Structure formats: C-alpha cells, structure tokens
Amino acid sequence: MLAVDTGVVEEWLSEFKTLPETSISSYATSLKNKTALISSLYRVIQEPQSELLEPVCHQLFEFYRSGDEELLRFTLQFLPELMWCYLAVSVSRDLQSSGCIEALLLGVYNLEIIDKEGQSKVLSFTIPSLSKPSIYHEPSSIGSMALTEGALSQHGLSRVVYSGPHPQREMLTAQNRFEVLTFLLRCYNSALSYMPAMSLQSLCQICSRICVCGYPRQQVRKYKGVNSRIPVSSEFMVQMLTGIYFSFYNGEWDLARKAMEDVLYRAQLELYPEPLLVANAIKASLPQGAMISSREGTRCIQFEITPTSSRISRNAVTSMSIRGHRWKRHEQPENGNDATELGNFIIPEISVTSVAGERTGNGEKSRALAENDVQHLQGVQETATDPRTDSKSMPEIRRQKSIILI
C-alpha cells in the first residue's frame, strides 16, 4: 500500500470525527465524487493485514447507521469487496484476520433486518401476472390463453412472496454464512442504480473469483491468491446474477459477460437449477453485439417494447357503428315523388330490428326474414310496372317502406 493512499485514508478518518452535525448532509453528498479516496479504501480492504482496516470498517459502520442515505450508499458500494475478502480468509482458516470485516457485515445485516421501531422486517415481493399487460410484455403477443374456469378464477389475483422475519446473528458460522451474505447482497442489489462504476467492476470480478477458484477454469482466468474451492449456495448465485445482469447494460459489458459465464460454469458443476435457469435466460436475451452505455446519469436495464396491435379493429362491428349506420340511413331524404319515374324501382332498406323493436337472431328468424323480403320485393316490382296504377300505388310503397323501418 502506497504512502499516498495511507495519507488520504487517515485524513478521511479524522475528518468525519470533527464534522458538525449540520454539515453531514453536504459532506455525504461530496463523498461520491472523491475517486482517489474510494480507490484508496479498496486497496485497504484488499489487504487483510493492513493496520487501517479496522478503523476503516468502524468508520463505514458509523456511516451506515447514521441514517443518511448518501452515507449508507457509500458503505454499500464496498459490500462485494468486503464479502470476497471475508470468504477468501474463511477458506484459509485464518478467521482472526477478518474479525473487523465480519463485524461490519454482521452490523449491516442486523441493522437491515429491523425497522426504525426495532421490529423485524418482512419483505414482500409481488409476482406479476402474465395475463395483465406491463412495460415488458403484452398478453396478446404471448399467444392464445384458454379461458378455462381455472384461468378465470386466477385472473386478477396477484401472488405475493414474503421474505422474513430474519433472526439476528451474533457471529458468522458455516451454517448461517450464506444466509447472511445472500441477504446482504440483496440489499446491495436494491441500490444498484446508485452504485458507481468501480463498485460494479468489483462485483463482476468477485463473482468470477468465487465461482472458479479451486476449479480448472481458474488457470484459464489466471486468478492467483486463493486456490481452494469456495462453497456457494443457489440463492447467493441468483443474487450475483441480478447484479451481473444490471452491469451488462451499464457500461461493464466485458466484465459482466465473463462473470456470467463463470457463474453458469459453476452452476453446471453444482447442478443448481435456479442459477442455471436465470443465467441461461440472461444469456438468451442478450443482444449479439456489446452494448455501449453511458456511465453518467441514471442507470437502468434497457429493454425493447414490442409494438402492440390495436385493441379494436377499425372495421369491427360495434354498437356505436350500428347506431351511426341507422342515423345515416334515416337522414336520407325521401324524394320519391320527384326522382321516381316509370320503370325505376324503389328498393326498401331492411332494418336489423323487427317491427316490435326486438333484435332479430342470427339463425332463428333468418328464414322468415328472407321470405318476407322476397314477397315484399315482388309486390314492389308488380306495383311499379303497372302504369295504370302508378299514381295510386306509390303511397302504398311508401307505407310498406315506413312499416319496415319502424
């Protein structure tokens, strides 16, 4: 560790102790822009034998429990590196050198599992229904969904998954280690959009190291330092993939690609179904070329929205279109006296309603309607072709027309 890094860290440690409470907010906002300090803190964490490691961990814990959001996120950005250092030391059986890191991880865990009133938190996650549209999909694009009794009974119901309450831990053991680390990584993933590029790079690198250490792939990656296999749980690998997926579309394509391949490699060796499913789904959804994304501004996962088809066709027969068609028909002027000449036939229009105002059925009255139309048209033709009764028959034709249209 360079002397410059030591001086920067020591100045940071003494600065916060003498800071008045009124200046904490502005101080917390300025911390994310101090790249030299952040780099120096990473180097301190990566050296378990450093004398500055214990005061640094204590300071990070003070930041986390201060209640300020900016200070809390400043501590969170070092969480992947802290977890890697703890796992690397735990594999080497030298737990004494990681005591301060373990205390920091336990402190963050015990703070996160309770609310402001000291009660245990119960986190809830709502699983979206594919039958309802969202910004990610349209139900019509999935295909035909059979409207069975079971499907209709489930329509509109949302499935909620609960996590917690989690027990407090006083120390990390082999039994509860990955339960605590998985929860901490979930807390880190909940603030991914606020994490700087250096933290995302650290996340991808430690995911690769955890998954390949002790396996033949370690020689391909040329990782040194830890040669023993690090046991991992299926839930922990799923949380790793969540952060990797975010890193793909936020400027860390190469590191995220390598990390995803290593996680998939380890999941295949362990035969873990959940990380295998998630990793293959991410791999299948990735575009062919590398995504070039700006590292400035708000970070988010990019996606494409498929164009949705029109809900109602323009040619669809609706009650409004039928009503408008009737209005147009009734508004036509009846100028039969002026325009009708000998030999011109007046063809009455057939209404969709009967005389009593009831709607005719498609199959029940179609035969009767056809017979009435034929008889009516024959009567119209016989009356109009007789020149002797032309003047007398015209009012009768109008009466027949008006009777049909009522």
Specify the pTM. 0.67
- Three-state secondary-structure class, residue 268: helix
SS3 203: helix
Q: Which residue has the higher pLDDT, 15 or 333?
A: 15
- Between the alpha carbon of residue 154 and those of residues 5, 130, 151, 159, 229, the distances in Å are 59, 11, 5, 10, 45
Question: What is the Cα–Cα distance from 50 to 340, expressed in whole angstroms?
Answer: 109
Q: Is 213 left (phi over 0), alpha (psi -120 to 50) or beta?
A: beta
Higher-confidence residue of 143 and 24: namely 24
pLDDT at 306 over 70: no
Cβ neighbourhood burial of 404 (10 Å; 0-12, 13-18, 19+): middle
Helix or strand holding residue 125 (H, E): strand 123-127
Q: Nearest-CA neighbor of 160 among 121, 123, 122, 127?
A: 127
Query: Residue 395's pLDDT is what?
Result: 46
| CA triple 25-27-28, angle to 5 deg | 65
In the structure encoding, which two tokens stand for residue 269, read together?
Answer: 């060796």
Q: What is the CA radius of gyration of the chain?
A: 38
Displacement of CA 186 from its chain's centroid (Å): 16
- CA-to-CA distance for 269 and 230, rounded, in angstroms? 13
- At residue 332, the pLDDT reads 53
Alpha helices (H) along 46-160: 53-64, 69-76, 79-91, 99-112, 139-142, 149-154
Query: Could you report the per-residue pLDDT of 50-68, keeping only the tens digit for each?
Result: 889 999 999 999 999 988 8
Categorize the per-residue pLDDT at 360 as very low, low, confident or very high, splitting at 50, 70 and 90: very low
Both tokens assigned to 218 = 């370690």
Number of neighbours of residue 279 by Cβ within 10 angstroms: 26
Handedness of CA 110, 115, 120, 121 (dihedral sign): negative
Judge whether residue 364 has pLDDT over 70.
no
- Residue 125's DSSP bridge partners are 161
In 3-state terms, what secondary structure has residue 220? helix
Q: Quick one: pLDDT at residue 48? A: 80
pLDDT for res 405: 43
Which pLDDT tens digit goes with each residue over 329-353? 555 555 444 544 444 445 555 444 4
Write down the number of H helices and E strands in the chain.
19, 2
**Predicted pLDDT at 43:** 92
pLDDT at 37 over 90: yes
Mean residue pLDDT of the chain comes to 76
The pLDDT assigned to 132 comes to: 73
Please say if the pLDDT value at position 313 is more than 60: no
pLDDT class for 96, splitting at 50, 70, 90?
Answer: low
Asked if residue 43 lies in contact with residue 5, where contact means CB atoms within 8 angstroms, the answer is yes
pLDDT of residue 392 exceeding 50: no
What pLDDT is recorded for position 390?
47
Residue 191, token pair as written in the block: 């603030």
